[in-house]
Structure 1
Amino acid sequence: MKKITKTNAMRLLDTKKLDYQVHTYEHNGNEAVDGVHVAEILGQDENCVFKTLVTQANTKEYIVFMLPVAKELDLKKCAKAAGVKSVDMIHVKDLLSITGYIRGGCSPLGMKKTYRTFIDESCLQQEHIFFSGGKIGLQIEMKTTDFLNHYPVNHAELTK
């Protein structure tokens, strides 16, 4: 079995002594894999596999949103949840410098800085959630309650 190099997200979970499972999947180099396809590869319901999207508010604050891979972010609902006038997606070219992660490998945990993070309220219907482990080809599975209880994450309706 191939040894998995710990990512910032995994190290953060380890310091908090939280249980998690790492799942790997085949991919083509640094090419992002569609989240729905990742759910299929892992044999998981696409409603429990979450993608991490980074936005910038009209206040210039960066805000992170997590939602099921098959859903689309509703920017108006996101702005309302965050208490700002508006949010827009950041450019993919800026993702690495803002978060320390690349597209397809952006974890909500272990970013360069701690940003306000919101997760779609549909997570409350899932016993476990999956999210990027910090690099393409790596997903972390956690009990939803552990994730919500140990990280400053708000839940709100975020999707269209």
Structure 2
Amino acid sequence: MAKEAKTNAMRMLDRQKVKYEAFPYECDEFIDGLHSADLIGAPYEQSFKTLVMEGKSGGYYVFVVPIEKEVDRKAAAKAVGEKAVDMIHVKDILKITGYVRGGCSPLGMKKAYPTVYDASAGNFDEIYVSGGRIGLTLKVPLEPLLKVTNGKLADITMK
């Protein structure tokens, strides 16, 4: 079997000696997190999507939320000390993160942006996040993931 090509996300975990599981799946274009989770058999509540937003200050922020939930923009802004945050435009994802839509990982972006994981991630020892390309999900232990991304937990989803 051909060796899996490493993504920046995988290289970042390897450098920090974080053990993870990679789940490649067949997919040529963007599909939502629910379909990705179905393809690899991952529980929805343990599967997270990565959203990049821009604050009023012009700074960028990464929010990692359960695939079935929507980010609460007010709560997200509060978590990063901004008055407001808005999603970045789809056409800007690659330029800002180095990743394409549907393959955006909280790990290994072009720059280290402040990263906030929804508090529900704290219910699990491991969570599923994008592996840094379409068709790749990583199962990563939460504590090392928070450490590597310098992330924190906060209530950032709609109730």
TM-score bucket (shorter structure): over 0.9
Aligned with 1:72 (options 45, 50, 70): 70
Asked if residue 149 in structure 1 is aligned to residue 131 in structure 2, the reply is no
* Deviation of the 1:146 alpha carbon: 2.1
- Aligned equivalents of 1:148 and 1:56: distance in 2? 21
Residue of structure 2 in register with 1:52 after alignment: 50
- Aligned equivalents of 1:128 and 1:150: distance in 2? 14
Residue of structure 2 in register with 1:94 after alignment: 92
Residue of structure 1 in register with 2:21 after alignment: 21
Q: Which blocks of at least 5 consecutive residues in structure 1 are unaligned?
A: none
- Misfit runs of 4+, over 2 Å: 148-151
* Deviation of the 1:44 alpha carbon: 1.4
Single out whichever of 40-49 and 83-92 deviates more from structure 2: 40-49
Amino acid at match of 2:156: L
Residue of structure 2 in register with 1:81 after alignment: 79
Asked if residue 10 in structure 1 is aligned to residue 42 in structure 2, the reply is no
- Aligned equivalents of 1:151 and 1:132: distance in 2? 14
State whether residues 13 and 148 of structure 2, in contact with CA within 8 Å, keep that contact through their aligned partners in structure 1. Answer: no
Aligned with 2:157 (options 142, 155, 159): 159
- Size of the aligned set, in residue pairs, is 158
TM-score by length of 1: 0.95
* Deviation of the 1:38 alpha carbon: 1.0
Report Cα offsets for 1:120-149 as digits up to 9, x if no partner: 000011121010111000011111122123
Q: Which blocks of at least 5 consecutive residues in structure 2 are unaligned?
A: none
1:77 partner SS: helix
* Deviation of the 1:33 alpha carbon: 1.2
- Aligned equivalents of 1:109 and 1:37: distance in 2? 21
